[in-house]
Amino acid sequence: MEGRARIFLLKSICVLTFLGVLSGCSLLRVDDAPSRVDDAPLQVDNAPLRVDDTPYEDLEPVIKPELERRTISGVDIASENLEVGVFVGIMSIEDFGNSVVYGARLAYHITEDFFTEAAIGRTNADTTSFDDLNGGKDFLSDSERELTYYNISLGYNILPGEAFIGKGQAYNTALYVIAGIGNTDFADDNHFTVNVGAGYRFLLNDWIALRADFRDHMFDSVLPGNDNTTHNLEATGSISFFF
């Protein structure tokens, strides 16, 4: 009998303990428990995200960059394709020194890359060492020293671009190569001439351009001391107008 009484008492204590634990858990407040997942701040990469109804596009940025944007106006080539210009510069006639050269050019722009050009130029040859060796007697007369050339050439704009001067103005530019054929009247004789060179065009506005050109005019000469193909270098600056 004593053994059964002890077992009954032990079972009773276990039941009472279990009931006490259940009643204690039921007394806990819901507010003391962790809130819903929706009430907790969400994090991405350890940064809290907003969970209110404010659209993200309406939020002010945390960092406000202070950028000073410039307004740049470009200069375009006029829609007209005809370019007329005058030039002046220096021409080095082989064995006749350097002389001032001047002339005019007429160009037609076929496309944005290619253009044709007709040119005429004139200069006067200087004295040579042959004149000095000839006892001061002029080897060529004044009229024979006049050199006049005319040619027609094809040009190609290899590096069109822009140049910036100041803070608010861009100017269109072009680096081009050019080659052509023509005639040179020198020493009372006509010479078939091949010219090759390069140039740089700088547009001040949509109808005025400044140019710098470097050419080599090559022709055969039979003058004493020059019985070969001569290279006559020319460097000029010009202003041209589009029509």
Q: Name the burial class of residue 107, with classes exposed (0-12), middle (13-18) and buried (19+) by CB atoms within 10 angstroms of its CB.
A: buried
pLDDT of residue 164: 85
pLDDT confidence band for 14 (50 / 70 / 90): low
Per-residue model confidence (pLDDT) at position 228: 84
Whole-prediction pTM: 0.66
What are 184's two structure tokens?
Answer: 């040179």
CA–CA dist 161, 242 (Å, integer): 19
Domain extent at residue 113: 73-242
Judge whether 139 and 128 are in contact, CB under 8 Å.
yes
Check: CB of residue 199 under 8 Å from CB of residue 212: yes
Nearest-5° Cα angle at 182, 177 to 183? 140
The domain spanning residue 81 has which CATH number? Answer: 2.40.160.20
* Phi/psi of residue 65, nearest 5 degrees: -70, 135
The answer to whether position 235 is within a domain reads yes
- The predicted structure's pLDDT at residue 65: 67
Does residue 40 form part of some domain?
A: no
Q: What 3 state SS string does 97-124 have?
A: EEEEEEEEEEEEECCCCEEEEEEEEEEE
Task: Grade residue 30 by pLDDT with cuts at 50, 70 and 90.
Answer: very low
Would the pLDDT of 37 be above 50?
no
Q: Is residue 5 part of a domain?
A: no
Residue-level pLDDT at 168: 72
Least confident of 49-58, 95-104, 211-220: 49-58
Choose between 123 and 12: higher pLDDT.
Answer: 123
Within a domain: 17: no
Q: Is 51 part of a structural domain of the chain?
A: no
State the chain's maximal CA–CA distance in angstroms. Answer: 163
At 113-128, the pLDDT tens digits run 999 999 999 999 987 7
How many domains are contained in the chain? Answer: 1
Report the first-to-last Cα separation within the chain, whole angstroms: 132
Q: Examine residue 111 and state whether it is found in any structural domain, yes or no.
A: yes
Whether residue 120 contacts residue 152, with contact meaning beta carbons closer than 8 Å, is answered with no
Does residue 212 sit within a domain? Answer: yes
Residue at 227 is within a domain: yes
